[in-house]
Amino acid sequence: MKQVFLGLGTNLGHREQNLEQAREALKNFSVLKRASSIYETDAWGYEDQPQFLNQVLEIETDFSPYKLLCRIKKIEKEIGRVKSFRWGPRLIDIDILFYDQGIIRLPFLTIPHKSLHERAFVLVPLAEIAPDYKHPAFRLTITELRDNLPKLDGVKKWISS
């Protein structure tokens, strides 16, 4: 079994339900080890859109990185994600943040996720469940990466309604 960290995000529809559907679908081929709190976050990249709910999961799976990516894309489609523009609004987004301590650079898959060290909406929930996990390329802990960010405002724990 491989240790994998996934980032989940949603800013359309019933956001909490979208995250729940994704978590349930992932259980069909993985073991959920830990889940961060849910955080409401400002949009990143393209800011003129609704706020996101974000969460990080630690799972274990026997799937290869490529097979995991394929299944994740299938889950996104089943939940109702439609291709949009880069950083645009979405029903669900599931990103592979880390796959064991592997480093993969392919045209269709980059692990560790190439922008995670710049994103508070990933590092804050990731630091909640894996503060001492070391980024395999940067050799810094998640806490160190989070603390290197210029600002963390715009990332607040979500209180379920």
Which of 81, 105, 132, 146 is labelled catalytic? Answer: 81
62 tagged catalytic: no
Q: Which residue has the higher pLDDT, 47 or 159?
A: 159
pTM of this prediction? 0.95
15 an active-site residue?
Answer: no
Distance, CA of 147 to chain centre? 19
List 15, 90, 119, 146, catalytic entry = 90
Helix or strand holding residue 19 (H, E): helix 15-26
> Which residues have a Cβ under 8 Å from the Cβ of 152 and sit 6 or more positions away?
120, 124, 146
72 with 94: CB under 8 angstroms? yes
**Which of 93, 100, 132, 146 is flagged as catalytic?**
93
- Concerning whether 95 is annotated as a catalytic residue, the answer is yes
Condensed to tens digits (0 to 9), the pLDDT of residues 98-120 reads 999 999 999 999 999 999 999 99
Catalytic residue among 15, 71, 95, 146: 95
Domains annotated for the chain, with CATH where assigned, are 2-157 (3.30.70.560)
What pLDDT is attached to residue 102?
94
Whether residue 93 lies in the annotated active site: yes
Residue type at 121 in one-letter notation: F
pLDDT (tens digit, 9 = 90+) per residue, 32-45? 999 999 999 988 77
